[in-house]
Each structure stands twice: as C-alpha cells, then as structure tokens.
Amino acid sequence: MASIWHDIEPLLLNVEKPARYIGLERGIVRPPHNPKNVAWLLTYPDAYEVGFPNQGLQILYEIINELLVGEAERAYAPWVDLEEEMRAKNIPLFSVDTHRPADEFDVLAFNLSSELVYTNVLNCIDLSGIPLRSADRGADDPLVGAGGHCTYNPEPLADFIDFFVLGDGEEVVSELTYAIHQWKNSEEGNLDRERILRNLSQIEGVYVPLLYNPVENENGFQMLEPLFDDTPALIEKRTITSLEDWPYPKNQLVPITEVVHDRLNVEVFRGCTRGCRFCQAGMITRPVRERSLDQVRTMVTTGLRKTGYDQVALTSLSTADYSHIEKAVAAVGDNPLSCGQTGVSLPSLRVDAFTVDIAATIQGGKRSGLTFAPEAGTWRMRQVINKLITEEDLYGAVESAFSQGWRRVKLYFLIGLPTETDEDTLGIADLARNCVQIGKKYNKQASVTVSVGGFVPKPFTPFQWFGQNTSEELQRKINLLKDATSRIRGVQLKWHDPKATLIEGVLSRGDRALSALVEEVWKSGGTFQEWSEHFDLDRWLLSMEKLGLSVEKYVYRHREKSEPLPWDHLDAGLYKDFLWQEWRDALEEVGLEDCRWTPCYDCGACTGYGLDHVVASTSPPVGGSQGTWQDLTKGSEAPQLLTIRKKSEKV
Amino acid sequence: MIHLRLKSSKTGKIRFASHRDIAKVWERTLRVSSIPLVYSQGFSPRPKIAYGLALPTGAESDCEYIDIQIDNSKETPLQVEEICGLLNSNLPPGIEINGASVMEGKFPSLQQTVTSCLWDITVNEDDTTVDSWLDRIESENEIVLRRERKGKEVIDDIKPLVYLVRRKNKKIDGRITVQAELGTQPRSLRPSELLRSLEPHLSEYKLYRRKQIVEEGGQRLDPLEVAGATQMRSLVGAL
C-alpha cells in the first residue's frame, strides 16, 4: 500500500513543529502491509505531544504487531495548521509510521481519555474520508472503534463509533483482530458489515451501539433495547487477571521531538483500593493487580537500555502504595547507565511524610517542586469524598518536604463536591496558609501553589447521581478563594476554567441524544476543545439550544435512584447497590476504609469477576495513617502482595 | 579519555527535527549504544558533548558535526570504528556518521572554528528573477538585512558575509538551485536571511548544507582536518 509521504512533505514546511508528523521514533514498527492481515490505525485524537506518551496505545501497538495476522500503526490529530493544509490539498489522515492513508486500514481505533476530545474524534473520522456515522458506513469502510476510560459512558459518541471496548485491552485486542481477520478473509468476502458488527458484539467487553435501539421510558429517560436475540443486554468490562503476563510495553517508543511525560514508564500496578468516591479511575480499574518486584526491575533495566532514557516513572494510580516501592526505587538508582544520573518520578504522591522521604532519596539534588492532592479543605469534606487524609498527614508531608530542601509545594483540590459549604471551600485557604507557614520555618521563599478544579461527576462512581455545581457557582467559589488567598504571602492560586468543567459535565453523563451535539459543535469548527485557546463555551451552548438540549437536565440536576442511567447497559464490575450505599454514606459523612487492610465490603470488583479477593494484610507498612485515616499502628512490613487467582466460575 | 569529532548527514524525513531535538537524539543514542561518556563535575553531571552550528529545521545536510568526550579507561576500550558502527546502527534513519577525527590537545569549539558554510538553496522562482538577484548581490555595495532583536530593529549589511553565490546547472524538481557560501563569523548568516534581504517574503523551497569550512593558515579545511585532528581514514567507505 502506498505511502503518501511525498504529498505530506511539502506541507510540513509551513506548519508548527513538523517533527510531530515524521514518525522515525526509536522502537517503531514498520509492518509488512500484508493485505490479508488486519491493519489497525491506533489514533489518539489530540496533538502528538499529548498523545504520544499514552501507554495504552503503545501497549496495543506492540501486542497487535506481535500477532501473525495483525498490523498496527499510529496516528494523532493533526494540529489546526496542518489540518487546514491537508483539507486544501485533499490529503487524508495518515499514519506516522509509514505515512499510509487512514482509509487503507481495516480498523480506525481511538483512545478516549477525555470528553473534550470528542469533536476531534469526529474530525479524524472525517479527515480519513470515512462516513461520519456508523449507520452510513459500507462494507468497504474501515471499522471505527474506541477504548479508554471515557468508554464507560460511550453514548455521546454512539452514533459514530462501530464498537467500544470496556476495560483492559491486552486480551481483547487479539480476539477482535482474529474475528475481523476471519470475516475479512472469508468465502463470502467482507461484504456484510452487519455480520462483522454482530460477531464483534459477541466478544466480551465489546459494545456495538448500532445493535441497540434507543427508546424513551414513561419519564422521558433514554433506555437501550438490543436489536437481536444474540445482542448482549449487559456488556461487562474486560479485566486481565495478572499484569505479570503482560510486561508491556517491551519496546517503549522514544520520540524524536518534544512530548509530555518524556520518560520511561513502568506500570507497577493497576487498580486502586483507596475508594475515593469522586475518582472514576479508581473505581473502574479495580481490583488492584501488582507487578512483581522482579519484573519491575527487569522492565526498568531493559527499558533504560533499549530507550536511552535517563528518567523513569513508576506509574499507577497511587505509586507509594506499591508493596515494594522502596526496593523498586532503589533498583532505578542502582542502574549503571548514565553515570548514576537516572531520575525517578512518582506521578502520584501519597500525602504523608513516608512518601516524601522516598521522593527525597530519588530526586537526587533536584528539589524543584512536590505535588500533593488533599482534594478537599476540611476533614468533613474529605470524609464525604472518602479521601481520608488527616491534617496531620498533610502537615507532616509538607514539613518533611520543606525540611528536606523543597521550596515549592503544589496542592490539588476539587471544588463543587457534594454537600460542600463555603466553610469547606475556605478550608482550602486555611490549609494553604498553614502549609506555607510550615515552609517559612525552613525557607523564607517557601511557597504553596493551590490548584483547584471543578468537580465533574462520573459514571460508575458513588457520585454519579450528584448534580454538578453550575459554572457560576464554581466561579463564585473560585472568587471566594481568590479573596481568601490574596493576602497570604507565598500562596498562589490557580484554577481550571469552570466553563470547560461545564462541558465536561454535559458529555460525562450524557445519553445518545448528545451525538447530535458533538456533531454540531464539530461542524461549527470546534476542535481541540481541551486546549484553552480553542475552547469556546458559546459554541456548545448555542448548539445545545439549537438542538433543544437542556444543560439543567444533563448537568445540574441530582439523579434519582430509580432513574435509568445512560450507562446501565454497561458493567464496570461494581455493584450498583454498592455505589448507591457509598453515595448514601457520603452524604452521611461516613468514610470507608481501604480494603487492603480491612475485610472485604464487596464492591463487586473481585467477587463479581470470580477473582480471588485481594488479600488484606494485617500488617500495614510504616508511615502513620498512610492517608487512610485508619489508626495503623506502626507496622514493620509492607502490605502483603496482592495476589489474584485465575478467573474461575462467576459468582 | 578520547575526544571525538564526528561528521554526519541529516537527510530525508528527519530534516524536520529541530537542532534541539537532534541533540536529545544524540544523547539517547549514545546511551543506547552503551558508549561510556565523560561527565562534567559538579552537582548534576552532564555528558561532555558539544554541538556544531545549528541547522535550520527542514534543511538537509551532509556535514553536521558533534564533539564527544569518551571514557576509554575500560580494560578493552572501544575502537573509533566500533563506536561509529554502534552509533550508526542506533541512530534514526537519515542521520549517518560519514567521518570522524580523534582530537588532540586544546582546540577551538565547532562554533568558533567554522568560518563559512556552503549551501544549496532551492527556490520556487523563475530564471529571470533569480538572475536579477544574483546581479544585485554582485553589483550593490551593501545588502541590508533588517531583523528584530530584543524588541528593537537591527539593520546589518550582510554583504561581507556573502562569499559566493552562483546558479547551479542542475534543477531539483524543476526548480532553480543557488549555491551560496555564507560566513559564520562573528555571526552566522542564514540562507533565509539572505533571501529575505532580497525580497521580504521570500523563503527557500529546499535547503541543503553541503560543506562547513574552516579557514586556517590560508587553507580551506573540513572541521575534521583542523590542527590537532587525526582523521580516521579507515572510516571513509567503511561507514
């Protein structure tokens, strides 16, 4: 198949950062382009520098290319300047690996990690020359798929995506490839698109929206009816039982040009048991599955050797919770390459002194800044959201940081949380004031940056029933904080635009009627909406008005227990009763302990999947409450390795 | 410790990578190839690598230079040929080492030592236009370049830095190529600046750096041939 590099090359003379489009990264695969194979174009619907480091995409890239019948290449949303040139010259979306046009692939697959990229998804489909809507595609058109965290409410994109995949992609991507391969090379030929869509719908974890008919119930809420007898009424997420079986990426790609998170990434565990009620990632990726220390060491050593990186991130939702965190960190330090200059970063620091001590051992001389996420300003509020960090935890962490030479601490908070009062909001300023005071003991220039974001309720969390704060209310709370912090020397306040929060809220819990909204906004030119210079609230509000869609209905109102939710046909492994109970407990300000060290409260993640329950350790590690609020008397051992048996009979 | 000066190409897709991008590519390639480097002393040691004159993003070249200090104190030190072979197998397509010298004693940096560069400048203009420029460059006493520096307009006469301009006979993609030797001291005159000084909105279609030249003791030398440099002749052809 033909490379269109010669058509692309002249355009690159006139665009910003042309190296984003050339490929050539270390670790790249140039597949054989065997017409019998199933060729995937793994597309990140945002700029290259943001999409390139995405580990999910790189993992799938490797797994597919290892298959005998699979080939994978990558594409990223061209920046607006190149898109304009491409449209003028009729050049389609292309892969960066071999510069092959998108419509020569069998599958165009998107990674969805944020709602605001949805219009870019449509733009990429359109740039590929593929009909925008699933229903309009013919047998010759590529299949359009999507995975990633946003697929837990896929409805706003349901009209445009042929199949969504829920959960871990490592296993299911091969099943999809083989199913498509069989269909593509079958006797009848690949003329029958309905056939392949129905075949795909039989694979666990795969949701084919075209096979469901949206109907309204008596109260005007949308429900989905399966069209065929074999169309599953409930689609369960995929969960790999052991990370150990999937030591990917084995050849992490190294970019030629600048990208975010430019470092070796080694995932030390997946899932999280902390149970923060606002956190969708922590809910949908359960249960916790740790990688063995040996494998982490091997992945670090071989990864550094193959990539030439001098920076490693040990990734997870809360890396300080990894059973062998100290040894893993030491393993990086021991690496002989680059003159002992290999740095480690822990992308999510736990709020306690123990974690700061680890950070102190690894960052060497660099003491630029440390980031913590207490998330809420008062203990009451933190009980509601189940982020059970005591003030002592926070002050201990901050004291430890400033006393060990850091001068700047960054604190992340959410505003607009359920039951939040102005006292809770202003508690953020109090915490910041106290933190900066601690810092002044050690350094006159000590500073605390407070970063606040508006809370967006997400599907499959206890807060999925909560009515989001209006953007005016969020702005009022930001103003309260501006006033309260302006007089505190050493405290800087930053905030996320409440207007963008509003639109994230619209898309986060919307039903299928929103497909029309995404299309309307895209048509009016609204791409790259997660970039503040391109985001335009009026564009969204005008389109909603035009389509008769109510912001109140989609965002601001509280949901009833009886109300059908647009994601009720999906199963993230959590019992709805558990989530509802958690919602009630939140309103009662009752915290829930980390199930690593306490008995199972049966959220569904382990039992519902027939996995062996994660083993609770009676002996928590050293370091105070570890942000669990529990009175963990100083233990001496790390928590027991969380082990999981192979999937057995379903409960 | 040996001090190596490597010469390499930059052609094809990689031409769109910036000078800064390429610096990072070199550092990572040296680590992937497990070449033992010499590090600076101090709080945060850095490998001792010095890069030559920046090549504009989008331009191709046969003659990019880099100075690297290599720690060959190991029991079985790597030979220069081995080092170059290893690096070539790990560099991205389009960057290829095509010459090397071992440097002795103290010597000026690449930035200081190179006195001019020879460029092929391909433009999207017709014959008469190009000829009229060449005439202007030839006949006028000064060529004025206006540019912004720190918010102020700076006006320079760049004529003293234009050593040579002439048309090449061969056309590239049907386009005219002008060969120009432009001075680099005290500051480099970029081909785009020469074009801009002729016509404000003019820019090159393609740019190719053919040679970097060191004027030393009346001789015109390749940076691999300067005093103190021992060129690895065995590399020519082997790479």
One domain, residues A338 and A410: yes
Q: What is the mean pLDDT of residues A220-227?
A: 94
**Number of independent structural domains in chain A:** 2
Q: Which of A556, A583, A614 is the last residue of a domain?
A: A556
How many angstroms separate the CA of residue B172 from the nearest CA in chain A? 14
Looking at the structure, do residues A387 and A518 belong to the same domain, yes or no?
A: yes
Q: What fold does the segment set B2-108+223-235 form as a domain?
A: Alpha-Beta Plaits (3.30.70)
> How does pLDDT run across A269-321, given as a tens digit for each residue?
999 888 999 999 999 999 889 999 999 999 999 999 999 998 899 999 988 88
* 8 Å CB contact of B21 and A13: no
What are the tens digits of pLDDT across the range A15-35?
Answer: 999 999 999 999 999 999 999
Q: A307 and B28 in contact by Cβ < 8 A?
A: yes
The count of CB pairs under 8 A between chains A and B is 70
Round to whole Å and give the CA distance between A627 and A621. 12
A387 and A434 fall within a common domain? yes
Q: How far apart are CA A374 and CA B60, in angstroms?
A: 51
Co-location of A164 and A251 in the same domain = no
Do residues A436 and A522 both lie within one domain? yes
- Among the three residues A556, A589, A616, which one is the final residue of a domain in this structure? A556
Long-range contacts of range A543-546, CB-CB < 8 Å, 24 or more positions apart? A543/A517, A544/A506, A544/A517, A546/A520
* pLDDT at residue A341 is higher than 90: no
C-alpha A389/C-alpha A625 separation (Å) is: 8
Q: Which of A8, A263, A338 to mutate to test the interface with B (most CBs of B within 10 A)?
A: A338
- pLDDT tops 90 at residue A248: yes
Report CB contact under 8 Å: A24, B13.
yes
How far does A401 lie from chain B, in Å, by closest CA?
20
Query: Would you state the pLDDT for residue A608?
Result: 64
Question: Which residues of chain B have a CB within 8 Å of the CB of A258?
Answer: 20-21
**CA-CA-CA-CA torsion for A232, A233, A237, A239, nearest 10 degrees?**
-60
Binding-face residues of A in 116-155 toward B, CB within 8 A: none
Task: Report pLDDT for A651.
Answer: 33
CB < 8 Å to B30, chain A = 308
A562 occurs within a structural domain: no
Pair A533, A417 in one domain: yes
Q: Is A341 on the interface with B (CB under 8 A)?
A: yes
Which whole-number Å values give the CA distances from B61 to A86, A209, B10, B188, B208, in the listed order? 27, 52, 5, 16, 5
- Full domain range(s) for residue A161: 5-236
Measured between CA atoms, how close is B26 to chain A, in angstroms? 10
Report the relative pairing of strands B219-221 and B206-216 from DSSP bridges. Answer: antiparallel
Is residue A605 assigned to a domain? Answer: no
Could you tell me the residue ranges of all domains in chain B? 2-108+223-235, 115-218
Which residues of A244-390 form beta strands (DSSP E)? 264-267, 269-270, 289-290, 311-315, 343-345, 370-375
Residues A172, A307, single domain; the answer is no
A144 and A278 share a domain?
Answer: no
Supply the mean pLDDT for chain A: 90
pLDDT digits (tens, 9 = 90+) for A415-429: 999 999 999 999 999
Encoding tokens for residue B77?
């030190």
Q: Is A278 a domain residue?
A: yes
Check pLDDT > 90 for residue A617.
no
Looking at chain B from residue 205 to 234, which residues have their Cβ under 8 Å from any Cβ of chain A? 205
Pairwise CB contact (< 8 Å): B29 & A364:
no
* B13 inside 8 A of chain A by CB: yes
* Cα A113 to Cα A109: distance, rounded to the nearest angstrom: 13
Which of the listed residues A556, A571, A603 is the one where a domain comes to its end?
A556
pLDDT tens-place string over residues A122-156: 999 999 999 999 999 998 999 999 999 999 999 99
Cβ-nearest to B28 among A5, A24, A254: A254
pTM score of the predicted model: 0.94
CATH number at residue A182: 3.40.50.280
Q: How far apart are CA A327 and CA A330, in angstroms?
A: 5
Residues of B in contact with A308 (CB under 8 A): 27-32
The per-residue pLDDT for A355 is 79
Instruction: State pLDDT tens for residues A51-64.
Output: 999 999 999 999 99
Based on the fold, state whether residues A268 and A369 are members of the same structural domain. Answer: yes
CB atoms within 10 A of CB A221: 18
Say which CATH number the domain at A290 has.
Answer: 3.80.30.20
* A50 and A161 within one domain: yes
Q: Which residues in chain B touch residue A23, judged by CB atoms under 8 angstroms apart?
A: 13
Which chain B residues are closer than 8 Å to A13 by Cβ? 58, 205
Distance from CA of B122 to the nearest CA of A (A): 13
pLDDT score for A261:
93
Among B18, B27, B29, select the one facing A19 at the smallest CB separation.
Answer: B18
Contact B44 A305 (CB under 8 A): no
Chain A interface mutation, best of B14, B28, B91, highest count of A Cβ atoms under 10 Å: B28
Asked if A306 and B34 come within 8 Å (Cβ–Cβ), the reply is: no
CB contact under 8 A, A22 and B16: yes
- A613 pLDDT above the threshold of 70: no
pLDDT at A525 over 90: yes
Of B17, B28, B37, the CB nearest to A257: B17
CA angle centred on A1, ends A70 and B59, rounded to 5° = 110
Domains B2-108+223-235 and B115-218 share a fold: yes
Instruction: Tell me the CATH class for B115-218.
Output: alpha beta
Once rounded to an integer, what is the mean pLDDT over residues B109-127?
94
Complex-level ipTM: 0.93
- The DSSP code for A615 is P
